[in-house]
Amino acid sequence: MNTDQATPVCTDELLRERISKFTRAEELKEAGLYPYFRVIESDQDTEVMINGRKVLMFGSNSYLGLTNHPEIKERSMEAIRQYGCGCAGSRFLNGTLDIHLELEEKLADFVGKDAALVFSTGFQVNIGVIPALLSRHDYLILDELDHASIIEGSRLSLAKTLKYEHNNMASLERTLQLGEPNRIRLIVVDGVFSMDGDIANLPEIARLAEKYKATIMVDDAHGLGVIGQGGRGTASHFGLTHRTHLIMGTFSKSLASIGGFIASDFATIEYLKHHARSLMFSASISPAATASVVAALDIIKREPERIEQLWTNTHFALDELHRVGFDTGVSCTPIIPIYIRDDVKTFQLSKMLLDEGIFVNPVTSPAVAKEDALIRFSLMATHTREQIAMAIDKIYSVARKLDILPRS
């Protein structure tokens, strides 16, 4: 068939058809269960304002409770006064400030690497670093529960992507045995998994990486400020910093800002500065955000009791949730999944809890399998025991009403 003479298809109609098939959001809104883009009218703290009333926040990633710290806010405002509100260019060209370099030095020192490179978001780190390091002849090896940013990085990399079963080291070894020899094999793994709240088995990953001559990159978005010596993350937690080639982190969790970084040896960072397209072709992180992270790192080093309190809260919450009969899976961190195992009941529970003044995040299919639907209960160092107990009491009460837990 001569394609030049074929009847043209209106691509606008095709696009409209695709868009029209997405109805789930509207269905949830009509049912009064839509849980996304909820508008907060206050600062991020253990209590927030929603629709003019106070709500206890158990959906935040601010593990150390630093987003509202007065020193961080003041340092941020000082940076605006000195540098302005933006950098008007990419790091590669005119967007590198001296405070970017100061932050990179502090980050490298904090995680125990030679050098670090700051990106505008954590997502941009993974979609920039992974494609920069790999070609179509290489192998990218992922845990099946790795973060979406790692998945997007895999799609951009052109490398052959292989997945192993979550935290299953026998599955990882079988995966490492696949493919052609003498090719780059990069294992990219979450340090702390953002849904299940468990920790990667880094000691065994490191052993297998050395056996099969693979390289390790740890995404420590949820590990920094939470685990490891002084909050230095997963590699530090296991004493494996020297065997972890690349450490990635974000600023939007424990570090009270926005942005991300990659840390490694000098040569790798120099290579990434000239090959990571999401760095080279994106505007650089703002002065205010940069100064906020510098201040947050100073506070974390100066106030180790914040991490201690976070873990006190975590142990208390896990004990209380188990006592009343909730299934929290394999979580051993401040990210606590409460398994509901039903999409509709998960949405209902989230809505009813918000009505009761408790903010939690529902996680349903397709983000997880329907039988793994859950609410994510996230803790902060600044939560009080009374706030945690009140929240768990209300979760228990609403769960019984929905027959998620037995009524007797």
Residues known to be catalytic: 194, 222, 253
What is the pairing mode between strands 139-143 and 185-190? Answer: parallel
Token duo for residue 277 = 């397209």
Cis peptide before 366 (omega within 30 of 0): yes
Token duo for residue 312 = 């006190």
Token duo for residue 342 = 């039903």
What is the pairing mode between strands 374-378 and 335-339? Answer: antiparallel
Please state, in angstroms and rounded to a whole number, the distance separating the CA atoms of residues 56 and 390.
9
How long, in residues, is the chain?
Answer: 408
Nearest by Cα to 304 from 229, 375, 245, 408: 229
Q: Which residue has the tokens 């192998």?
A: 139
Residue 246: which H helix or E strand, with range?
strand 246-250
Please state, in angstroms and rounded to a whole number, the distance separating the CA atoms of residues 222 and 369.
22
What is the pairing mode between strands 115-119 and 260-264? Answer: antiparallel
Residue 275 CB-density burial (10 A; 0-12 exposed, 13-18 middle, 19+ buried): middle
Nearest by Cα to 286 from 107, 119, 149, 74: 119
DSSP 8-state assignment for residue 217:
E
| Secondary structure of residue 33 in the 3-state scheme | coil
Backbone angles phi, psi at 29, to 5 degrees: -65, -45
Nearest by Cα to 186 from 242, 145, 238, 244: 244
Q: Within 13 Å of residue 41, how many CA atoms lie on the same side as its CB?
A: 7
CB 267 within 8 A of CB 313: no
CB atoms within 10 A of CB 288: 21
Please state, in angstroms and rounded to a whole number, the distance separating the CA atoms of residues 111 and 340.
36
Strand partners, 217: 188, 246
